[in-house]
Amino acid sequence: MDTFYTDLVCVGAGLAGERVAIAAAVAGFESICLSVVPPRRSHSSAAQGGMQASLGNCCMGQGDCPDLHFADTVKGSDWGCDQEVARLFAQTAPVAVREMAFWGIPWNRVVAGKGVYYKAGKAFEKIESAERAGAITARDFGGTAKWRTCYTSDGTGHTLLYTMDNEVVRLGVKVHDRVEAVSLIHDGGSCMGVVARCLKTGKLRVYLGKATLIATGGYGKLYRESTNAVINWGDGAAIALNTGLIPIGNPEAVQFHPTGIVPTNILVTEGCRGDGGTLKDVDEERFMNIYEPAKQELASRDVVSRWMTHHMRMGKGVPSAYGPHLWLDIRHLGAQHIKTKLREVDEICREFLDRDPITQLIPVRPAQHYSMGGVRTDKDGAAYGLRGLYAAGEAACWDLHGFNRLGGNSLAETVVAGRIVGEKIVEFLKGHESDFKTSVVRQAVSREQKRIEALIGSGGNENVYELRAAMGDVLMDQVGIFRNHADLRDAVEKLQVIYDRCRKMGLRSSCVHGANPELSAALRLPGMVRLALCIAQGALTRTESRGAHAREDYPERNDRDWLKRTLAFWKNEDDVLPVLEYEKPSKVWEMPPGERGYGATKIICTLDPEICGLKPETN
C-alpha cells in the first residue's frame, strides 16, 4: 500500500483546491493535490464568461463597490446566503482579481473612447475615460447593478486555472493526477486524510495529512442534462456524506442555466446575453421583455430559466428532434465582437452545431449548471462534523450563493474562498500536531478493499450505466426547474428503488488490472444516488419557492417558515433516506429579506425581529 504523508491533503486541483494549496505553500507547508484529471483539465477551465469583482473601472461599472456587490449577491441568493460570508467575499474579490493579474492573467482592459454596446437587442453608446484606460475592465452579467464581471474573452476559467497552476508549478506544489479519493479517513472526531484509488493502476493508496480539503467541484452529472464536465460526479460531497457526520447544505438548491445548447448541453456563456444577446421563440420574437420588463434577458438565471420553460410550455418552443428549444440571438453583436469577445461561443457553435452565430440563431434551453449546495462549512471553510476537514469552491456550501448563484460569482468564490480558507488552514496547521491512528487507517482501507472485491465477484445483474441513467432521468424530469409534491414524492421513491438496485450491481468486466472504468463508476454510484436522494428529499420537504427551488404548489417565498438552510445527513450506512435538519442561513442580517427586483413572487414575511430588523411591538 502506497502511503503519502503531508501537511495538507487537497482533494481537487481546480481553482479552489489549488488556491488553498498555494496559500499553504507560501506559509511553508507541504500539500499534495489529488485530481482525477490533470489539474488544468479541471472543470474550472470550462468557465467562460467571467469573474465578479467590484473594481468599477469601466464606465458602466463606475461607482461600483463591495457594498453593491454584496447587495446583489444577497438578492441573488434570495436571502438564502450567509451574509457574513457574502460581505467577506465582496470585500476580497477585487484583491483576488488583482492578485490573479499579478500572477499573469491577461484580463481584458479598458479601451478609452467611444464604444457601442447592446442591451435588449438595441445599440447604445458608451464613452470610456482615458484616465481608466488599461485598467481591468468588466462586462455585464445577470442580476448585477453594475458591469462587474472581469473577463478574458470567453475563456476566463481557462486563463484563471492555467495561471493558478503556473503558481502551483512555480511553488513546486505536488499534484497527483488521475487519483480519485474514495473515502475520508477519520476517527469520528478528526479527519486524517483520504483513501484514494490510482486511476492509472487501479491500486488503493492512502494520503494522510494534518488537514484535509475537499474541493472537488460540483455534482451536475447527477442530472441527465447538465452543462458540467463528465467528471462532476459529486465525489467530494458524497464521501463527506458517507461519514454520517458531515451534512450537505441546501442540496435542493440546484441551478439551471438558461443557455445550454441543444442537444449536447454545452454551455454558451451568460456573456452572450450580458453583451446584448436576446432570447427568441418559435416566431423569432423576444419574450423576456414581456415577463421581466426591468431586467429582461439579464434577470438572474433561475428567473430566466423558469420563464423559458414556461414559454416553451405555452407552445412557443421551436420543435426539434430533441424536443422543444428556444433561440439565442447574438447576430447583431457583429463579427468583430463575436470573434474577439465570444470566440469560444463562436467555435462551439461551428463545431458542435454546424452553425455560424454571426448569421444564424443558436438553439438553447435550460440545463443543470451549478450546485449551490455542498459540504457545509463555517465561514472559515471548516466542515461541520470533523476537525481538520475543510471544503472550498463549488463542492462547499460556504454559503455564498444561498438558493441562486449569480453568474461570475463562482469563479470569484473559488479564488476568494481559496485565499481565505487557505489562511485559516495555515492557522490550523500551525497549532496542530496529529497522530495517525494506524487501526483507523487500516479499517478505512479494508472497507474500500472489500467494496471492490464484492463488486468484482458479485455476480449481480444490475448494470451500473443503466442505473446511472435512470437516476439522471428521475432528477431531470421530476426534480428539475419546476417542482411539485407529486413528482418529488415519486422521485424519492424511484431513487430509493435505484439505491436498492445498486446493491445488486454486477460488473461485466472481470479485469482487476488497471483502473477499469466500469469498476470506478460502480464504486462511485451508491454515493451519487445518496446525494440524489438528498436533493429530492430536500426539495420535497421545502414547501416554498426560493431562488432556483421553484415549487408549483408553493409559489411564494416563505420567509416565515423557510428562511433556513437544509442540512442533509446520511447518518447510518443502512438508511434509505437522508435525515434533514435545519439552521438559520445567517448569523447577521445586514440586509433584511425583501424584494429582489426581478422574478416577482409573493413573499410571506418573517416576523423574526432578529432577521427583519423590526422591533417586536412592546406594550
Partner 1 sequence: MTAGDTRACGRPVRTEAYLDLFQMLTGIVLVAFMWAHMVLVASINLDLGGGRVMNAIARFFEATYMAQIGGPLIGFIMLVHFVVAARKMPFRAREQKAIWRHSVNFSHTDTWLWIIQAATAFIILIMGSIHMWTVLTSLPITAAKSAGRIQGGWWFGFYLLLLPVIELHVGIGIYRIGVKWGYITRANRAQLHGFDNRLTFIMIGIGLVTLLTFLALVKA
Partner 2 sequence: MGRTLKFNIFRFNPEDPASVARMDPFYLEETEAMTLFIALNLIRENQDPTLMFDFMCRAGICGSCAMLINGRPDLACHTKTKDLPGDITLLPLPIFKLIGDLCVDTGTWFRAMNERVGSWVHTSKTFDPQEEEERMDNALAEQIYELERCIECGCCVAACGKANMVPENFMGATAFNRIVRFMIDPRDERKNDEYFEVVGNEDGIFGCLGLLGCEDTCPKNIPLQDQLGMLRRKMGFSQVKHLFRALLPAKRIAK
Ligand X SMILES: Cc1cc2nc3c(=O)[nH]c(=O)nc-3n(C[C@H](O)[C@H](O)[C@H](O)COP(=O)(O)OP(=O)(O)OC[C@H]3O[C@@H](n4cnc5c(N)ncnc54)[C@H](O)[C@@H]3O)c2cc1C
Choosing from 2, 3, 62, 104, the residue that interacts with partner 2 (CB under 8 A) is: 104
CA 69 to chain centre: 19
User: Of 158, 273, 546, 596, which one is the catalytic site residue?
Assistant: 273
Backbone angles phi, psi at 163, to 5 degrees: -70, -40
339 near partner 1, judged by CB under 8 A: no
Among 6, 31, 44, 77, binds ligand X (CB under 6 A): 44
511 is a site residue for partner 2 (CB under 8 A):
yes
Binding mask 123-162 for partner 1 (x = CB under 8 A): ----------------------------------------
Per DSSP bridges, beta strands 550-551 and 191-198 are: unpaired
442 in catalytic set: no
Cα–Cα distance, 219 to 63 (Å, whole number)? 36
Closest CA to 58 of 160, 112, 137, 118: 137
Determine if 170 is a binding residue for partner 1 (CB under 8 A). Answer: yes
Cβ nearer to ligand X, comparing 49 with 363: 49
111 or 294: CB nearest partner 2? 111
Give the DSSP H or E segment for 527.
helix 517-541
* Owner of C-alpha cell 442505473: 467
Stretch that binds ligand X, among 45-53, 76-84, 91-99, 547-555 (CB under 6 A): 45-53
Question: Which strands sit side by side in the sheet containing 579-583, from one edge to the other?
Answer: 396-397, 374-376, 248-249, 565-569, 579-583
The three three-digit cell numbers of residue 588, written as one number: 447577521
When asked if residue 26 is in the footprint of partner 1 (CB under 8 A), the reply is no
Interface with ligand X, residue 217, by CB under 6 A: yes
User: Which residue of 65, 71, 120, 135 would you call a contact of partner 2, by CB under 8 A?
Assistant: 135
With CB under 6 A as the contact rule, which of the stretches 95-103, 122-130, 215-223, 597-605 interacts with ligand X?
A: 215-223
CA distance 79 to 74: 5
Neighbours of 343 (CB within 10 A): 14
How many Cα atoms within 13 Å fall on the side-chain side of residue 597? 16
Closer CB to partner 2, 137 or 409, in the complex: 137
Among 63, 172, 431, 459, binds partner 1 (CB under 8 A): 172
Q: Does 22 bind ligand X (CB under 6 A)?
A: no
**What b/e sequence results for 268-287 when a residue is b if at least 16 CB atoms lie within 10 Å of its CB, and e otherwise?**
bbbbbbbbbbbbbbbeeebb
**Could you tell me how many helices (H) and strands (E) the chain has, helices first?**
17, 24
Rounded to 10°, the helix 409-430/156-171 angle is 20
Q: Which of 361, 456, 515, 612 touches partner 2 (CB under 8 A)? A: 515
Of 2-10, 24-32, 166-174, 517-525, the segment contacting partner 1 by CB under 8 A is 166-174
562 belongs to the binding site for partner 2 (CB under 8 A): no
CA distances from 431 to 23, 207, 347, 389 (A): 16, 21, 50, 15
Number of residues that bind partner 2 (CB under 8 A): 69
The piece of 359-367, 432-440, 507-515, 546-554 that touches partner 2 (CB under 8 A) is: 507-515
Q: Which of residues 127-146 bind ligand X (CB under 6 A)?
A: none
In angstroms, rounded to a whole number, what is the distance separating the alpha carbons of residues 101 and 140? 20
**Active-site hit among 43, 132, 176, 257:** 257
Q: Does residue 230 belong to the site contacting partner 2 (CB under 8 A)? A: yes
**CA distance linking residue 12 with residue 16, whole number of Å:** 8
Could you say which DSSP state residue 286 is in? Answer: B
Burial readout 84-99 (b: 16 or more C-beta within 10 A, e: otherwise) = ebbbbbbbbbbebbbb
Does the protein bind partner 2 through residue 351 (CB under 8 A)? yes
Of 59, 109, 115, 460, the one binding partner 2 (CB under 8 A) is 109
Q: Which three three-digit cell numbers place residue 491?
A: 422521485
Q: Choose from partner 1, ligand X, partner 2, none: what does 16 bind? Cβ within 5-8 Å by kind.
A: ligand X
**Rounded to an integer, what distance in angstroms lies between the CA atom of residue 47 and that of residue 397?**
19
- Closest among 70, 153, 190, 193 to 445, alpha carbons compared: 193
Kindly tell me which residue out of 76, 157, 388, 526 binds ligand X, with binding defined by CB under 6 A.
Answer: 157
Q: Give residues 10-69 in contact with partner 2 (rule: CB under 8 A).
A: 37-41, 43, 45-46
Pairing of strands 557-558, 603-604: parallel
Residues 232-291 interacting with ligand X (rule: CB under 6 A): 235-236, 267, 269
Verify binding: residue 133, partner 2, rule CB under 8 A.
Answer: yes
Grid cell at residue 453? 472485491
β-strand 149-150 against 2-11: which pairing, if any?
unpaired
The DSSP letter of residue 230 is T
Could you confirm whether 551 is annotated as catalytic?
no
Angle made by CA atoms 191, 187, 435, in degrees to the nearest 5: 70
**Residue 12 interacts with ligand X (CB under 6 A)?**
yes
Among partner 1, partner 2, ligand X, none, partner that 414 touches (CB below 5 to 8 angstroms by kind): ligand X
Report what 158 binds from partner 2, ligand X, partner 1, none; CB cut-off 5-8 Å by kind.
Answer: partner 2
Interaction between residue 169 and partner 1 (CB under 8 A): yes
Cell numbers 448569523: residue: 587
Cβ atoms of residues 462 and 505 within 8 Å: yes
- Chain residues that interact with partner 2, rule: CB under 8 A: 37-41, 43, 45-46, 95, 97-99, 101-104, 106-111, 133-137, 152-153, 155, 158-159, 162, 165-167, 169-170, 175, 177-178, 200-202, 229-231, 263-264, 266-267, 321, 340, 344, 347-348, 351-352, 465, 507-509, 511, 513-518
- Chain residues that interact with ligand X, rule: CB under 6 A: 11-17, 34-37, 39, 42-44, 46-51, 156-157, 180-181, 215-218, 227-228, 235-236, 267, 269, 369-370, 393-395, 407-412, 414
Catalytic residue numbers read: 257, 273
- Chain residues that interact with partner 1, rule: CB under 8 A: 169-172
